Structure 1
Amino acid sequence: MHVQEWLETVPAVAVYALVGIVIGLESLGIPLPGEIILVSSALLASQNDAIDPVVLGSCAVAGAIIGDSIGYAIGRKGGKPLLTRLGRRFPKHFGPAQVATAERSFEKWGVWAVFFGRFVALLRIFAGPLAGVLRMPYWKFLIANVLGGIVWAGGTTAVIYYVGIVAEAWLKRFSWLGLVVAVLFGLTSFLVVRSRSKKAEARQAQERDPVPAAD
């Protein structure tokens, strides 16, 4: 079953909770499809009035900020051994190559890695724990975390919601346009066939009763 189809079967409050929890767990370092859940929920909100996009976006933002903060605290306390344990448990996400890539990004970009990391799946999982492991000052991390969470989670919700509304309206217009085109095509085909039929009947009548030749 598709994610959006499954979300349609649960109450709105469960959708809000699911979005906040999944994004929060992803942000603290557990590889989960937070972006897929958020996009599917925002698209569902554009089609279902029971789901408030503002509440949905707020839950997503809260999950992102809180999850990242917990991840930071865990990383600061666990240090490098934490990344090693995560690497054994999630080798595809926390393997040596992934950790090295994330560390280079943090060394090069600093707090910007936390902010823009929201928009990159790998860094979205790494941002909180790795910032703690690297002992980034918490106030810097918090500013980048809050701004990144608002822009990513809130912005994604808003964009997908309004795109969904526009797409639905466009599809409705397209369906009416398709009906009009079909009617016009059918009418044109009927007139063409009728005209050719009359010409054929005229030729047959002329063959049966040829015009007498002039003296």
Structure 2
Amino acid sequence: MNPVIQLAISDQIINWYDHIGPWLFYAVVWGLVFAGTGLFIGAFIPFITGDSLVFAAGLVAAGAGVSNSTDSPVNIWVMAIGVGIAAWLGDQVGYTLGRHYGRPYLDKRKGEWLQNAIAKSEKFYAAWGWWAVVIARFMPWARVLIPAIAGISRMNYYKFFSANAVGALAWGTGLTVAGYFAASIPAVKNASYAIAIFFITASLIAGLRAWYKNRAR
């Protein structure tokens, strides 16, 4: 995402604080993070439920751009840990919906192309599912789709559980804390973009590698 656009969205989110106060701000941020993947809202408004939201939450916790932050401060660790938990819960719900509702629905469709696609998806998640779930958390639309597709593909539950925990906490807690320190250390803001580019590049490499191995087989 264009950094200028992301910062503009972050500024809008910061303004929420002055209108709703700290406690409702906690609830709104956590609720949107959860709904982004758990209710698939992130497929329609990915930047309001994703990176810009949690980064701005960190800025608010640091008191950046809010008029009454000294009266009722947002605690960075409560916010950051809550974001990580909300992200984890959202992905768990997405996986559960895919496994218990999406897969039975698709199994009733007997099209050869669809069944071949499901079989290939199962092979991919058996081999690369753990990394796909972790990396997808750092990509706007992928973070919405991957948990449900993992459930449809019947990825091992414990592998998904652990990958989801690592990805959700690294993204949710890490990016929120990055926003907090970016308020006083501008270099952190630039570093957060570099980290995002790294994970996107890594995901593309992992996808190409999986495609090549499947083609070789």
Give the TM bin, normalised by the shorter chain: 0.5 to 0.7
Amino acid at match of 1:60: V
Give the equivalent residue in structure 2 for 1:6: 16
Q: Unpaired segments of 5 or more residues in structure 2?
A: 1-10, 64-68, 107-116, 187-217
Amino acid at match of 2:12: H
Amino acid at match of 2:89: I
3-state secondary structure, aligned to 2:19: coil
Q: Unpaired segments of 5 or more residues in structure 1?
A: 84-98, 168-215
Give the equivalent residue in structure 2 for 1:114: 133
Amino acid at match of 2:181: Y
| 2:132 and 2:146 in contact (8 A); partners too | yes
After TM superposition, the structure 1 stretch with the greater mean CA deviation from structure 2, 53-62 or 3-12, is 3-12
Cα distance in 2, alignment partners of residues 135 and 117 from structure 1: 17
Report the aligned-residue RMSD: 2.7
Taking structure 1 as reference, are residues 23 and 105 closer, same or farther at Cα in structure 2, changes over 3 Å only?
farther
| Deviation, structure 1 residue 106 | 4.9
Taking structure 1 as reference, are residues 77 and 156 closer, same or farther at Cα in structure 2, changes over 3 Å only?
same
Cα distance in 2, alignment partners of residues 17 and 41 from structure 1: 11
Count of matched residue pairs:
151
Question: Greater Rg, structure 1 or structure 2?
Answer: 1
1:140 aligns with 2:159: yes
Give the equivalent residue in structure 2 for 1:44: 60
After TM superposition, the structure 1 stretch with the greater mean CA deviation from structure 2, 157-166 or 104-113, is 104-113
Give the equivalent residue in structure 2 for 1:34: 49
| 2:16 and 2:25 in contact (8 A); partners too | no
Cα distance in 2, alignment partners of residues 106 and 3 from structure 1: 36
Cα distance in 2, alignment partners of residues 81 and 123 from structure 1: 22
3-state secondary structure, aligned to 1:135: coil
Cα distance in 1, alignment partners of residues 127 and 17 from structure 2: 40
Regions of 4+ moved over 4 Å: 80-83, 103-108
Q: Percent identity?
A: 27
Taking structure 1 as reference, are residues 136 and 20 closer, same or farther at Cα in structure 2, changes over 3 Å only?
same
Give the equivalent residue in structure 1 for 2:34: 24
1:61 aligns with 2:61: no
| Deviation, structure 1 residue 107 | 7.3
**Which of 160, 178, 185 matches 1:159?**
178
| Deviation, structure 1 residue 2 | 2.1
